[in-house]
Chain A
Amino acid sequence: MRKAAAVLLLAVLATGLALALAAIPFGRDKIVVANHYIRNGVRETGATNLVTSVVLDYRALDTLGEVTILFVAAVGVGVIFFAERPPQRGPRQAASAIVVTGSRVLFPLILLFGVYVFLHGHLTPGGGFQGGAVIASGVLLLYLARREQTLHREALGVAESLGGLLFVGIGLLGLAISGTFLSNFLAKGQPNLLLSAGVIPIIYTAVGVKVGAELARIIGDLVERE
């Protein structure tokens, strides 16, 4: 009964989607809004990665909301697990020598790669969220290798707060200097250089640190819950 109703509902949904998608031919040029971004994006924002210019310049306020949602999710995970009792870890089986040694070699490289990804977000594929996720994967490797140790939560909290404050601070500075929140008030510079695109690399650095710290804390909350 339940399944039949679900299948019926899905059939209706599939028909509706098929009818809607039939009017949107695949692979045809139907770009309308983005034509402005494609033609003028590099001149107006200085970022050669057009996705970055949309995410951090034209629609930067959405990104602030996105960062806030991730922050609320990270806080929520912490509250759900540790509202009643603080985190504590029991004894665990030690990791093998290969994992311990490998993590020692790989962790600095993963960290470096994460920083590279978010610093070059305006030039190449990547950005703050991707770089932060790479850094958090390095933290996960550390957890696998050193099972007795716990994360330094205060340091993560400070990194997270500084990242968020920097993002909002740059937004307010844009409001003070050029009259719109999160406007790109610095010089655009020459495209394709690391120091170009005005505030975009600074915001992506803030986002990278913040997302890295947040995802690391979510991982820590899930691992340390005993």
Chain B
Amino acid sequence: MDLLGQSVYYVGAVALLLIGFYMVLVKANLIKIMLGISFLDTGIHVLLIAIGYVRGRTAPILSEAMRRSADTGPVEVVDPVPQALVLTAIVIGIGVLALGLSIAVRVYEHYGTLDAREIRGLRC
């Protein structure tokens, strides 16, 4: 129980990741597959931010007082690199989602179904 309380963010992030992966693997509906990719994305974002977190420290935006103490000792901020990575990943996730959903719309217009297995059978 203590272990779960210590790493609850890891557990949540991995759970989101696994749910998304399951949807991508099992579901046949194209919209649900895109939703699964979005879940996968979100899980990875939470995981990266959780790895960069340091207990008791604040956001990596320095105030005047914090900068003065930076010359003498350690600065009390969390790791900014995973946050920058996630900033990039969110934007790319939006792009992937927009492109994937618009392909799904066109597939529906062409085949009249969103089921990936039926589309595989039609092939016209």
Contact = CB atoms under 8 A, between A and B. Distances in A.
Interface of A: 2-3, 6-7, 9-10, 13-14, 17-18, 21, 24, 26-31, 33-34, 37-39, 41-42, 48-51, 53-55, 59, 62-63, 66, 69-70, 72-74, 76-77, 80-81, 123-125, 127, 129, 191-192, 211, 215, 218, 221-222, 225
A26 B10 contact: yes
Given A39-B75, A80-B102, A70 B84 contact: no
A42 B14 contact: no
Given A17-B14, A26-B9, A50-B61, A6 B99 contact: no
A192 B87 CA distance: 22
22 contacts: A2-B26, A6-B22, A10-B18, A10-B25, A14-B14, A17-B14, A18-B14, A30-B54, A39-B70, A41-B80, A48-B63, A48-B67, A51-B84, A54-B81, A66-B91, A69-B91, A76-B99, A77-B99, A125-B59, A129-B90, A129-B91, A191-B67
Contacts of B21: 10, 13
B54 A31 contact: yes
B115 interface: no
B31 interface: no
A177 to B, nearest CB: 25
A3 B21 CA distance: 12
A69 B54 contact: no
Interface of chain B: mostly helix, strand, loop or mixed: helix
Nearest to B17: A17
A172 B27 CA distance: 47
B55 A28 contact: yes
B102 A55 contact: no
Contact of B50 (A26, A38, A62): A26
Contacts of A55: 84, 87-88
B49 to A, nearest CB: 11
Count class of interface residues, chain B: 35 or more
A10 B22 contact: yes
A41 B80 CA distance: 11
Contacts of B9: 26
Nearest to B78: A31
Nearest to B75: A38
B73 to A, nearest CB: 10
Contacts of B99: 73, 76-77, 80
Interface string B1-45: 000001101100010011001100110000000000000000000
Contacts of A33: 81
Contact of A66 (B17, B63, B92): B92
Nearest to A49: B61
Given A27-B54, A72-B95, A218-B98, A51 B7 contact: no
Contacts of A80: 99, 102-103, 106
A49 to B, nearest CB: 5
B46 interface: no
B77 A50 contact: yes
B61 to A, nearest CB: 5
A27 B59 CA distance: 14
Contacts of B75: 38-39
